[in-house]
């Protein structure tokens, strides 16, 4: 055996030297060379493996108590024996250098082939330094910023022994009731695609073998965010054209960006659970798209094919899943119990297993784990990199750029730092935990900078800052060691005893900062709600405070679009602050007092009420489009408008912008032609500020019905006071194509409208024609 390994290693070495001696190789050629070398190495290892060892590489065990699904019945002793025998390929929820080293050592010291483990973890919006929730960060529309935050999260996670994150989530999310909307980039395919690529590039860098990068995971493949009624894990009913035009583009973009792994989703698509969906996994992703990474199931989703009703037991579920393209089984213990028997029974070809294992081994080689299984186990680096001052500084930068100014009557904001008195009120005003949001990885509970602390850090010594909680949000808090997924929310619905003190404080203050919204555990996986308004007695607190002081600024902390219609009608200023992470309070203060001019834009539409959900700007026109309520027989509501309270792309600034002179350099183009578009944007206010210039397209007539408008490009620019910039965009076939009735991506001839503006509603418009 030793001789065989030596000879194969020697062959690989000779191959490497030979291939490396070619001169004048381009970067692309060098990448191909690297792939060829890794492929030879993978084949060498695969040839040494038994069937049991191969199947072991397709098994992932949970190693901690932060469960994201039903707990395993397997004992720790059983897991240890499996690790020693080389029958586990990956573990999740094993964190820290010490823990990952110990688990890796079990494999390296005891298994026959010593194939290293890969350690995965949900690094969703930071590791220990927590950035804004992904939905909030997406409101920055700042791709460079988003890429850098993912890179910083990767640096911290990799310093703690993690090599793989189950992020980014790129599910199109149109329904505010869905708790997991907080984990993605909102309702638009294009914005999701751009942000997905930025996050993949941030996590993975330009070389996965570097110690400060980690493998990314495109999830959830596919359609998870369109669950019926916004209910977690529910059925998804969409057709082929919606799937291709709306759901798949971010995944295609991530695949083209080289994302290392995919994760399939819990939902079914038109009767086929995604984990069992050969059409999207093996035929499309691995086939037509020619993507060469591996697919991991979501927690237990292979076993869940049984309650779905598509498999009678885990034996059949395993057969369906492996044939469909699922390579690694996360915590359903289906593959380890059934794949060998399926091969022996002639139900599956061992070639399917070989393909899955090669994909898994390929990533381990790319990460450099075969060269050094302990390369991510550096205690000194862990101390140096995790939760550093540099990381905290950048977390504040990301957080302030994620804030969206929704309303600002009479320029109530920004406040002067020398203001005489401020009342900081609300159940979230001195909350140091909620700003961390859900999916906070190793973020330490109650470690965030609160709003109250941020305000006190900012104002002058002469400013009186008075704090009153106003009401309790929940009647119990997360206990140490308690999983977020078993944490019950006992919302206070009756106790208003703290409101009088808050009213008294508000009455004496020059301005009230009212921090209300959602607790961190109201959103995230398994946190669907039918009520998206202010839970508990928060509305009573708001109305009582507003009666005695009209100068109220709502500091909205939340993980989903909320019904804030009453507040929007009565409160002069509203700041959408999401769950902003470790430096939340300082970042909010930066905006409140004008150290930063807010530039965020909504990545999701805010409804007038929950009855409008799902709500999204790029809807279809229907045969009887909305006519403002003039007739009964139209596609609308009798008791509410069709449009959003705050639309996609909306966000105010402390300055103002004017759009003029929208011009196209031609009015007709061929299918392969291009149009150069220009528009003048001027800062007409009194402060320097950033603006996100957005371009939307409407295809008036198509072989299938087309949305009323679709985001196709955007640019974020800084403008000095009085400055005018000419902003240019190019319209080409890539922008105009869609998945047509011919079941292919193409440009169809016809008339098009192009819209330019600072949101999806208030825009300039021009038209052009595409001819054959």
- Residues serving a catalytic function are 298
Hunting for tokens 């808090």 — which residue is that?
477
Alpha-carbon distances of 231 from 67, 200, 226, 318, rounded to whole Å:
20, 28, 9, 27
Pairing of strands 261-264, 294-296: parallel
Q: Strand, coil or helix: what is 440? A: coil
Measured distance CA(362)–CA(366) in Å, rounded: 6
Pairing of strands 90-92, 59-62: parallel
DSSP string, 570-631: H-SEEEE-----TTHHHHHHHHHTTSS------SSPBPSSGGG-S--SS-B--SS---TTSS
Residues near 734 by beta carbon (within 8 Å), at least 6 away in sequence: none
Measured distance CA(122)–CA(165) in Å, rounded: 5
Angle at the Cα of 582 from the Cα atoms of 61 and 120, rounded to 5 degrees: 15
With residue 32 as reference, give the H or E element that holds it: helix 27-46
Q: Which long-range contacts (CB under 8 A, 24 or more apart) does 462-466 make?
A: 462/418, 462/420, 463/417, 463/418, 463/419, 463/420, 463/421, 463/422, 464/420, 464/421, 464/422, 465/421, 465/422, 465/424, 466/421, 466/422, 466/423, 466/424, 466/505, 466/508, 466/509
Percent helix, strand, coil in the chain (nearest 5)?
Answer: 35, 20, 45
Alpha-carbon distances of 629 from 327, 529, 625, 761, rounded to whole Å:
52, 29, 10, 19
Measured distance CA(555)–CA(573) in Å, rounded: 9
Q: Spell out the SS3 assignment of 320-383.
A: HHHHHCCCEEECCCCHHHHHHHHHHCCCCCHHHHHHHHHHHHHHHHHCCCCCCCCCCCCHHHHH
């Amino acid at each position: 055996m030793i001789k065989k390994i030596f000879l194969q290693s020697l062959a690989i070495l000779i191959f490497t030297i030979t291939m490396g001696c070619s001169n004048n190789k381009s970067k692309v050629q060098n990448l191909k060379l690297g792939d060829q070398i890794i492929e030879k190495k993978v084949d060498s290892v695969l040839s040494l493996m038994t069937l049991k060892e191969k199947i072991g590489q397709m098994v992932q065990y949970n190693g901690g108590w932060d469960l994201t699904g039903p707990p395993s019945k397997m004992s720790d002793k059983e897991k240890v024996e499996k690790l020693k025998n080389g029958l586990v390929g990956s573990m999740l929820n094993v964190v820290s250098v010490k823990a990952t080293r110990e688990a890796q050592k079990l494999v390296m010291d005891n298994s026959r082939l010593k194939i290293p483990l890969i350690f995965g973890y949900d690094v969703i919006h930071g590791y220990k330094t927590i950035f804004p929730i992904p939905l909030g960060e997406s409101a920055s529309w700042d791709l460079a910023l988003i890429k850098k935050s993912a890179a910083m999260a990767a640096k911290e996670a990799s310093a703690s022994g993690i090599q793989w994150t189950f992020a980014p989530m790129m599910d199109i999310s149109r329904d505010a009731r869905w708790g997991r909307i907080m984990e993605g980039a909102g309702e638009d395919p294009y914005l999701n695609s751009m942000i997905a690529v930025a996050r993949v590039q941030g996590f993975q860098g330009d070389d996965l073998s570097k110690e400060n990068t980690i493998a990314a995971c495109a999830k959830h493949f596919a359609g998870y965010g369109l669950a019926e009624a916004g209910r977690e894990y529910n059925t998804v009913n969409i057709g082929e054209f919606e799937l291709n035009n709306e759901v798949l583009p971010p995944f295609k973009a991530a695949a083209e960006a080289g994302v290392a792994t995919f994760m399939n989703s819990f939902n079914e698509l038109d009767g086929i659970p995604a984990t069992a969906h050969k059409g999207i996994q093996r035929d499309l992703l691995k086939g037509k798209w020619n993507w060469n990474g591996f697919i991991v199931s979501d927690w237990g989703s292979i076993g869940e094919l049984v309650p779905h009703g598509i498999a009678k037991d885990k034996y059949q579920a395993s057969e369906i899943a492996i044939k469909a393209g699922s390579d690694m089984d996360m915590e359903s213990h289906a593959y380890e119990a059934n794949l060998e028997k399926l091969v022996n029974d002639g139900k599956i070809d061992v070639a399917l297993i070989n393909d899955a294992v090669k994909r898994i081994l390929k990533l381990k080689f790319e990460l450099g784990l075969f060269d050094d299984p302990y390369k991510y186990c550096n205690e000194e680096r862990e101390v140096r990199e995790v939760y550093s001052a540099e990381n905290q500084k950048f977390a504040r930068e990301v957080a302030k750029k994620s804030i969206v100014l929704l309303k600002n009557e009479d320029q109530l904001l920004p406040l002067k730092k020398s203001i005489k008195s401020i009342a900081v009120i609300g159940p979230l005003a001195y909350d140091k935990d909620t700003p961390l949001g859900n999916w906070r990885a190793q973020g330490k509970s109650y470690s965030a900078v609160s709003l109250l602390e941020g305000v006190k850090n900012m104002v002058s010594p002469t400013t009186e800052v008075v704090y009153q909680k106003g009401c309790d949000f929940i009647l119990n808090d997360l206990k140490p060691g308690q999983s977020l997924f078993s944490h019950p929310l006992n919302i206070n619905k009756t106790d208003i005893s703290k409101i009088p003190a808050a009213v008294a404080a508000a009455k004496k203050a020059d301005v009230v900062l009212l921090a209300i919204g959602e607790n961190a555990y109201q959103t995230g996986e398994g946190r669907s709600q039918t009520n998206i308004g202010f839970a508990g007695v928060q509305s009573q607190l708001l109305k009582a405070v507003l009666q005695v002081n009209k100068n109220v600024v709502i500091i909205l902390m939340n993980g989903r679009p909320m019904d804030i219609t009453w507040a929007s009608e009565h409160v002069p200023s509203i700041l959408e602050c999401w769950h902003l992470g470790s430096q939340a309070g300082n970042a909010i203060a930066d905006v409140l007092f004008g150290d930063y001019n807010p530039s965020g834009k909504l990545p999701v539409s805010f409804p007038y009420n929950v009855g409008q959900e799902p709500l999204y700007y790029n809807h279809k026109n229907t045969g009887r489009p909305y006519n403002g309520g003039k007739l009964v027989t139209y596609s609308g509501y009798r008791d509410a408008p069709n449009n959003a309270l705050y639309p996609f792309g909306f966000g105010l600034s402390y300055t103002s912008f004017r759009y003029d002179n929208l011009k196209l350099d031609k009015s007709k183009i061929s299918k392969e032609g291009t149009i150069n578009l220009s528009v003048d944007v001027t800062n007409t206010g009194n402060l320097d500020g950033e603006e996100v210039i957005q371009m939307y397209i409407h295809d008036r007539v198509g072989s299938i019905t087309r949305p009323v408008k679709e985001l196709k490009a955007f640019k974020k620019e800084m403008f000095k006071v009085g400055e005018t910039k000419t902003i240019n965009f190019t319209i080409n076939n890539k922008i105009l194509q869609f998945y047509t009735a011919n079941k292919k991506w193409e440009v169809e001839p016809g008339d098009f409208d192009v819209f330019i503006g600072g949101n999806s509603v208030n825009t300039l418009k021009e038209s052009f024609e595409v001819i054959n």
